[in-house]
Structure 1
């Protein structure tokens, strides 16, 4: 029987039966796996963009939420410096400098800072950034709860699997006292650096530099360090600081070894045997490169056709060189002019430094860099390269596999060198160690990238380079985060064959799942992104990825609300 009118509500005794109150819509369930800076930026962006209530579970296998491995007090030493000027760091709720200015003298001292050192151009200790992100995570969680969201932080919780199901994304985890699982509409995979000890094919153990505290207790006197970037410099400085001290005398940095200490020698080594340059001044925002930016705008949001496949890198390179010609023609002429081929461009970029002693170059370069910072005068070609690497970062997910390989072999080393300039104190410390006779730089050559020239030997580890052999008691691998696949991240369901409906290019951060799933898996895990996003390791990237992920989640929430409304 059908009723044309609603059934009237009957009373119970003398009390009328009230219509049931409408239930508030269920909170949108989000899991964030990893509570480092990317997780902090993602949560903060979610609070800004979410159109309705959230239920957010944050899983962190460590003991602190916010700093992640690169800025954790458990992993880093006080002498280790961050590689981002404070003016570049995207604020969470409060800017880094405003937060630091709110600390008292004793709190600043614990972070290795004085109030007079707080400035837009400053490079702070990693521990200072870690304390900032820890405080910001706490403030973001408190803000979300005041706004009516349910936000739960689960420390010492290790996520063991992330599995797409028809009803959503299922997370399984374990904690010291239990194990459980739950379904979510969105799972954000924000796990950061993974840097374990490992054994190479030649049987030699390549030791991780983390946690840094272990570097202060090493008994070995002949120590090799793979890498010459800021991570490798921090390793050398940490080891040396445990065996002596740095001091300023007459405006010059000196290193003084402890009396009675056995002599030691640290060897930084890389393929090219070059040290990074000192940080130069550049204006923000960076100057635009109209031709290269035009290509980015042209291909944004479109599918690359079969006819275009393989042509995008060449077009982008030619546009880049044309923009560089307009920005700094004299510098480009020194590299071969506007017609220089892509592979020759990279060789020419490094040629003068390869012909010089790395420490002589570092001394002269430091003077030049200090002058640009003091006068706030940008170097046109450096600013152009910094902007170009951002634009190529947008294009790389759209490159064919062959283009990605070609980019890694040609342009990537140049862009990496340009954006990975280091704080001036780091160069001064290197020069002090060199003058004290405890530091050298070795050029390994292009054949050692696969570690085939590294073998175990009776004295420790043998490294062959350029027809020579160097023997170390211990070898530390400070070359940076290695690229990984989804299968390497340790979640069995993400390693399953047939998981994805198409090859993973990461032009968006949502995994293209082959099976129906009511939820989404957002992968902003650094190791898995590096092949398609080789410059993704910075905090600016963490902020951008967190914002993009939050926008995708908010968009899905609005779509769901329209359907149910």
Structure 2
């Protein structure tokens, strides 16, 4: 029996599209009881999402994911592109002969594709008898849970109110920190339009960018195209600055001194939860208290998979390293990080670019990167099994490394960076950045590179450090906060001494939750099916939150479209269990891992 008649989805980007598609695949389980789906989107077009919307991104911002890596929707990206007229393709900056499943395209192109796929899925659901209520340009002011009536109230900013049985929050990216343009400080690069000079004007000065990742490159690409032209000749791509831009220059700040790894060939483009390990092995890693050690996961699951990958990559040196008993997680990360560290990161990028071209041209996968992505994807959906000590270790040791390796840069983007560097318009400073002051129309920073400190001032300084977790203070729905329906994510320590040490050195990171305190993990508390967990530790029966900034405390590696698809599948599978059993699914390890094991691979759909 279907447990609900009406569903609201708040925020209609790619995650919501995959949720609707999962519903479409299982729709027979929910009919005829499910009759109405309400969709609320604050922007003008449903299905697009912030990173791909024309109002937030720019024509010079490229995706780092190809058609072959996008989890299947009704139609693949390349098939949709081939269905367009030559005029429509020209508007996307694409020539018909250049359409390729392994190519990357503009972010706005992907946004148009998602909007088209959303419409196709919505129409299919309508054809099955569901009423789809679409509300674009409709920011949500608040959400109220009503346990007595077993309903959820959605309050729009225009004072309209809707009562539904079930709600899913999928609001996506959010950057609540305020810009301070009077001091040249921008808390995020979004919307990109705020950084772009008016037509006929230029930014003829040095610009600072915090970070050297893909969003930092978005800033580099958008601004450099407004201050010069990229020209391809017999020597490759060069940059020719426009007159009057002699002082235009961009300085990237990277704590580790890294530029991104580059796009690589993959044998298996889709991530799955249980590729290198099975459910029973994962369950066996938990101790009597329910904790899974990060070291045990690395030794039992990661080590053998990575050895096999490096054997395929013909890297006997790393095989020998991983085969040694003393080789820890930290040793592996440090070794691979050292390979990507150089006094001149642009010279290293040029070498890596040559290797990447050869890999893609010959169709030779780089197995270790793909395998590492798989292993961390698996860990993500079991992350709440780890104690606070391992949460901290993951974020300190593994996360910076992962973000550099897996968030790979398209080769065309690397060519742009190298051309700008050759023209003297792009540099990278290594070291940790502290903002010391904002005054006199400038942002002043200090860079600490292993004890060597330097000071810098910028008339424009853009924070591209990425989407962080949003805790209770920044949670957008006061009605859920005030009623205690939502709580902060907190993780217990394995060892009291570790808790006491952190409480003494950084007390804000330790909450009063649990016996003697718990780690404030960032984000909000959710269970394995993404249901809100209240201040008493009870899962909510009506409200799921799948917005990455809210879930990051317990699902920190939920980046990208494949994580969107997997998250949507987990939520819908929990509803299917309700339909079959008539009761709420347990978010315990046994039931949750069974859900993971039964999820089909995207390629099978």
Change (3 A) 1:197 1:474: farther
Change (3 A) 1:35 1:160: same
Preserved CA contact (<8 Å) 1:453 1:464: yes
Q: Is 1:94 equivalent to 2:75 in the alignment?
A: yes
**Pick aligned residue for 1:427 from 414, 435, 443:** 414
For 1:124 and 1:533, how far apart are their aligned partners in 2?
Answer: 28
**Pick aligned residue for 1:322 from 282, 287, 304:** 304
Q: Is 1:135 equivalent to 2:116 in the alignment?
A: yes
Question: Partner of 2:337 in structure 1?
Answer: 350
Question: Partner of 1:493 in structure 2?
Answer: 479
Q: CA deviation at 1:225?
A: 0.8
Q: Is 1:284 equivalent to 2:268 in the alignment?
A: yes
For 2:271 and 2:556, how far apart are their aligned partners in 1?
Answer: 22
Question: Partner of 1:174 in structure 2?
Answer: 156
Within 5 A, what are the aligned runs for 1:410-559? 410-445=397-432, 448=433, 452-458=434-440, 460-466=442-448, 467-496=453-482, 498-499=484-485, 504=525, 506-513=527-534, 519-559=541-581
Q: Is 1:388 equivalent to 2:375 in the alignment?
A: yes
Question: Which ranges in structure 1 are unaligned for 5 or more consecutive residues?
Answer: 1-24
Q: CA deviation at 1:131?
A: 0.2
Question: Partner of 1:13 in structure 2?
Answer: none
SS in structure 2 of the partner of residue 520 of structure 1: strand
Q: CA deviation at 1:172?
A: 3.1
Change (3 A) 1:154 1:405: same
Relative contact order higher in (CA < 8 Å, ≥ 6 apart):
1
Question: Partner of 1:5 in structure 2?
Answer: none
Question: Partner of 1:231 in structure 2?
Answer: 215
For 2:290 and 2:541, how far apart are their aligned partners in 1?
Answer: 33
Question: Partner of 2:508 in structure 1?
Answer: none
**Pick aligned residue for 2:395 from 408, 429, 443:** 408
Per mean C-alpha deviation after superposition, the further-off stretch among 178-187 and 540-549 is: 178-187
**Pick aligned residue for 1:253 from 229, 234, 237:** 237
For 1:363 and 1:479, how far apart are their aligned partners in 2?
Answer: 24
SS in structure 2 of the partner of residue 260 of structure 1: coil
Q: Is 1:69 equivalent to 2:50 in the alignment?
A: yes
Note the alpha carbon deviations across 1:496-524, whole angstroms, 9 max, x for none.
37436995354321123459999411110
Q: CA deviation at 1:534?
A: 2.0
Note the alpha carbon deviations across 1:343-397, whole angstroms, 9 max, x for none.
2332222123323311000000000000000000112322322222222223212
For 1:556 and 1:59, how far apart are their aligned partners in 2?
Answer: 25
Question: Partner of 2:599 in structure 1?
Answer: none
Aligned residues: 527
Q: CA deviation at 1:557?
A: 4.2
For 2:340 and 2:367, how far apart are their aligned partners in 1?
Answer: 19
Change (3 A) 1:81 1:454: farther
For 1:63 and 1:331, how far apart are their aligned partners in 2?
Answer: 53
For 1:350 and 1:27, how far apart are their aligned partners in 2?
Answer: 50
SS in structure 2 of the partner of residue 354 of structure 1: coil
**Pick aligned residue for 1:375 from 362, 374, 379:** 362
Per mean C-alpha deviation after superposition, the further-off stretch among 44-53 and 360-369 is: 44-53
Change (3 A) 1:354 1:239: same
For 1:336 and 1:323, how far apart are their aligned partners in 2?
Answer: 10
Normalised to the residue count of structure 1, the TM-score between the two structures is 0.86
Preserved CA contact (<8 Å) 2:14 2:561: yes
Within 5 A, what are the aligned runs for 1:261-300? 261-284=245-268, 293-294=277-278, 297-299=280-282
For 2:318 and 2:141, how far apart are their aligned partners in 1?
Answer: 51
Preserved CA contact (<8 Å) 2:68 2:269: no
Q: Is 1:189 equivalent to 2:169 in the alignment?
A: yes
Preserved CA contact (<8 Å) 1:255 1:436: yes
Note the alpha carbon deviations across 1:81-107, whole angstroms, 9 max, x for none.
111121010122111111111001111
For 1:393 and 1:321, how far apart are their aligned partners in 2?
Answer: 17
Q: Is 1:221 equivalent to 2:205 in the alignment?
A: yes
Note the alpha carbon deviations across 1:220-274, whole angstroms, 9 max, x for none.
5211111111110111110010111112112611111112334211011121121
Q: CA deviation at 1:212?
A: 1.6
Change (3 A) 1:380 1:493: same
Change (3 A) 1:478 1:506: farther
Of structures 1 and 2, the larger Rg is shown by 1
SS in structure 1 of the partner of residue 238 of structure 2: strand
Per mean C-alpha deviation after superposition, the further-off stretch among 224-233 and 347-356 is: 347-356
Q: CA deviation at 1:196?
A: 4.6
SS in structure 2 of the partner of residue 544 of structure 1: helix
Change (3 A) 1:85 1:496: same
SS in structure 2 of the partner of residue 153 of structure 1: strand
CA RMSD in angstroms, aligned pairs only: 3.0
Preserved CA contact (<8 Å) 2:22 2:569: yes
SS in structure 2 of the partner of residue 293 of structure 1: coil
SS in structure 2 of the partner of residue 162 of structure 1: strand
Q: Is 1:148 equivalent to 2:129 in the alignment?
A: yes
Q: CA deviation at 1:27?
A: 7.2
Preserved CA contact (<8 Å) 1:40 1:66: yes
SS in structure 1 of the partner of residue 156 of structure 2: strand
Question: Which ranges in structure 2 are unaligned for 5 or more consecutive residues?
Answer: 491-524, 585-605
For 1:58 and 1:455, how far apart are their aligned partners in 2?
Answer: 43
Note the alpha carbon deviations across 1:23-46, whole angstroms, 9 max, x for none.
xx9971000000111111111211
Question: Partner of 1:114 in structure 2?
Answer: 95
For 1:54 and 1:128, how far apart are their aligned partners in 2?
Answer: 33
